[in-house]
Structures are given as C-alpha cells and as structure tokens.
C-alpha cells in the first residue's frame, strides 16, 4: 500500500490550531490534528473568557473550546489524541513521530501552546492533584469552606485567586516580590483584602508544601527573610507558563531564548513547510483572540506553500 501523506498535520488542538483547521478544511486541504492533553488547550480549562470578541457577557472557556472543535470537525478536520515526540525534515515531506509511529505530511502547523510553570519545592510534585493544583476552575470546588494558599503575583494568579473566593473561607496569596497584575485586577484584589477574604504576603517565597497523612496541611515560607508557616488545606500555583517545545530539540526548528518558536511574517519557521501559531510562537501576545487570528494566517500560508509545491512539481 502507498504510504499516506497528509496535506497538513497540526500539533496541538487549542484555539489557534482549531481556527487554522477551519480555514484549511474549507480549502479542501486534508487536515489532521494531534492533541496529547485537552482539546481546546488552556482555554478549555479557563472558567470565563471575558475578552474574546463577540461575547459581551463573556463565555465559559470550555464552551468556547467545544464550539471551535465542532466548527473544525464540521468542515472535515480529523482530531486525534496523540503525543508528538519529534519532527524530521525529509525534503518535501515532514515526518512526525506520534506515539512512536511515523506520520508523514506535506506541511505542519505547530500550535502546542504553553504549560504551567512549577515552583520546584518539596511536596509540589508529590501532592499534585491531592492538595496541589494549577487550575482553579478544575479543582476549586473541592475546597468549599476551606483555607487555600495561592502562589503568584501576576495577572493569572490574581484572576484565579479572585475566582477561588467563591469557594474558600480565606486565601493567603504568596507573592515573591510585589504584585505585578494589571491595575484593574489589583483594584478588585483590594476589595477582597478589605473584606478579609484574602491576605497578601509580599516578599514571600514558598519553601515547602507540607502534608500530614497524605493531606496538605501547611506551607513553609520565608517572608521578609524570616521563616514562617501558613496553614492551608490546599495550594494553587500560578507562576506563569512555559512553551511546549521540548519535542523540537535538535529538529532544526529555531527557538528563542525562552524556548518559543521563531517565525517570519508568514508564520513560517526555519524548517520549510513547518509553521507555528499561538502561544508557542515567539512574539505571541498570549491572548485567545490573537491565537485564533494567527491560526487563520498560518492556514493561508499553508495553502500558499502547498500551491507552490504543486507548481514546482508540474
């Protein structure tokens, strides 16, 4: 049997890839997406998206992701679960290793997005999912009438802390230096501080997450140079994101110093026929709306590349 070569394989199935798939499939470009985690990416586990155009009252992230998926599939996109561990340039064809199996494509779109950073302290990995969490909307409801610790001082940390006040009796916000969230979020935060729902600990580093009989009970910190213990029933960590690009090591796809993918104005990478869009791309704004727009741009660039290859062959 002749080995199948896809028109385009998209790595990741977040908003950027799903938007791209809408465009490629409408152009009769056979499209397969591989996702190793959650379809919709981080958008799917965001409680409420308030800054996506067209939804004046906001939209739940899971709903937005579901609608994007259905739209892409309506036009013929194939969405599969699979972990892409490598990509190789074989000239006119690119070879991806998906769950140990070779998959070939004329073009590739990398839209793997980013993942949650870890703070790297004892107890963090040991109690992941059992007292340590990275998604407030996923796990916040488990802590009704409980005390929580939130680690971080940026926009995401403040947003998630505000969301968690729906469930908890009190939140201790541990900030390594100062709060760096937007003025709007800081204003909202101050309301909860004034009400006694949130206590902000500045110049505070998390040293260890402590559990008793398998249950998280406290966090050891250093605040203003002095060791202290903060009692808690759970810890939520929001200290930024890291790009999902480890599978590109030694691939020939050039990354910047942060591990984000470098692209030109057409969203082409340094490997011919391979494009990148969304949060994984160097220079991305880390916003859903712009990720969707980049997906559309990448799709048009993919069409032009495929058309150019056809002309070259003829």
Summarize pLDDT for 161-218 with one digit per residue, the tens: 999 999 999 999 999 999 999 999 999 999 999 999 999 999 999 999 999 999 999 9
For position 314, what pLDDT does the model report? Answer: 58
Cα–Cα distance, 104 to 113 (Å, whole number): 22
Mean pLDDT of 17-34: 97
Give me the residues paired with residue 257 across strands.
Answer: none
Closest residue by Cα to residue 106 from 222, 39, 215, 7: 7
Pick the CATH number of 132-237 from 2.60.40.10, 3.40.190.100, 3.50.50.60, 3.40.50.150: 3.50.50.60
Sort strands 93-98 and 101-110 into parallel, antiparallel or unpaired. antiparallel
Q: Which residues of 171-195 are buried (b: 16+ CB within 10 A; e: fewer)?
A: bbbbbbeebebeeebbebbeebeee
Which residues, 6 or more positions from 47, have their beta carbon under 8 angstroms from its beta carbon?
A: 60, 61, 136, 137, 163
Percent of the chain topping pLDDT 90: 82
Q: CA end-to-end span of the chain, whole Å?
A: 24
Would residue 113 be called left, alpha or beta, if left means φ above 0 and alpha means ψ between -120 and 50 degrees? left
Mean pLDDT of 138-147: 91
- Could you report the per-residue pLDDT of 228-276, keeping only the tens digit for each? 999 999 999 999 888 999 999 889 999 999 899 999 999 999 999 999 9
Mean pLDDT of 84-112: 96
- Could you report the per-residue pLDDT of 121-136, keeping only the tens digit for each? 999 999 988 899 988 8
Please determine, for residue 6, whether its predicted confidence score (pLDDT) is greater than 80.
Answer: yes
Q: Residue 138 is encoded by which pair of tokens?
A: 């996923």
Query: Domain map of the chain by residue range?
Result: 5-115+241-313, 132-237
Do the two domains 5-115+241-313 and 132-237 of this chain adopt the same fold?
yes
For position 2, what pLDDT does the model report? Answer: 53
pLDDT band at 116 (very low <50, low <70, confident <90, very high): confident
What is each CA distance from 40 to 35, 65, 291, in whole angstroms? 9, 5, 12
Cα–Cα distance, 216 to 231 (Å, whole number): 9
pLDDT band at 313 (very low <50, low <70, confident <90, very high): low
Q: Residue 154 is encoded by which pair of tokens?
A: 């940026």
Q: Is 265 exposed, middle or buried (0-12, 13-18, 19+ CB in 10 A)?
A: exposed
Give me the residues paired with residue 87 across strands.
Answer: 96
CATH of span 5-115+241-313: 3.50.50.60
pLDDT band at 1 (very low <50, low <70, confident <90, very high): very low
For position 42, what pLDDT does the model report? Answer: 83
The better pLDDT of the pair 184, 285 is held by 184
66-73, long-range: CB < 8 A, 24+ apart: 66/40, 68/15, 68/18, 68/19, 68/22, 68/40, 68/292, 69/13, 69/18, 69/39, 69/40, 71/18, 71/22, 72/18, 72/19, 72/21, 72/22, 72/25, 72/33
């Amino acid at each position: 049997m002749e080995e199948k070569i896809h028109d385009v394989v998209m790595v990741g199935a977040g908003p950027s890839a799903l938007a791209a798939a809408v465009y490629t499939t409408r152009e009769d470009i056979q499209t397969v997406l591989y996702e190793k985690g959650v379809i919709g990416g981080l958008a799917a586990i965001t409680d409420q998206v308030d800054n996506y155009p067209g939804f004046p009252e906001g939209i739940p992230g899971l709903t937005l992701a579901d609608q994007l998926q259905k739209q892409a599939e309506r036009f013929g996109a194939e969405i599969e679960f699979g972990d892409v561990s490598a990509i190789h340039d074989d000239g006119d064809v690119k070879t991806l290793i998906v769950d140990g199996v070779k998959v070939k494509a004329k073009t590739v779109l990398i839209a793997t997005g980013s993942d949650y950073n870890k703070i790297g302290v004892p107890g963090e990995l040991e109690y992941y999912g059992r007292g340590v969490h990275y998604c407030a909307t996923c796990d916040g409801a488990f802590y009704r009438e409980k005390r929580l610790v939130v680690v971080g001082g940026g926009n995401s940390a403040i947003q998630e802390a505000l969301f968690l006040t729906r469930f908890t009796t009190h939140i201790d916000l541990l900030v390594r230096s100062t709060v760096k969230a937007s003025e709007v979020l800081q204003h909202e935060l101050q309301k909860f501080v004034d009400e006694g729902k949130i206590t902000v600990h500045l110049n505070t580093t998390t040293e260890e997450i402590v559990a008793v009989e398998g249950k998280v009970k406290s966090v050891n910190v250093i605040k203003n140079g002095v060791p202290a213990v903060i009692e808690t029933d759970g810890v939520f960590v929001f200290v930024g994101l890291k790009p999902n690009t480890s599978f590109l090591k030694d691939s020939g796809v050039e990354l910047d110093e942060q591990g984000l993918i470098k692209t030109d104005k057409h969203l082409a990478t340094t490997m011919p026929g391979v494009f990148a869009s969304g949060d994984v791309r160097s220079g991305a704004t880390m916003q859903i709306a712009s990720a969707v727009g980049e997906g559309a741009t990448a799709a048009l660039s993919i069409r032009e590349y495929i058309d150019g290859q056809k002309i070259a062959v003829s």
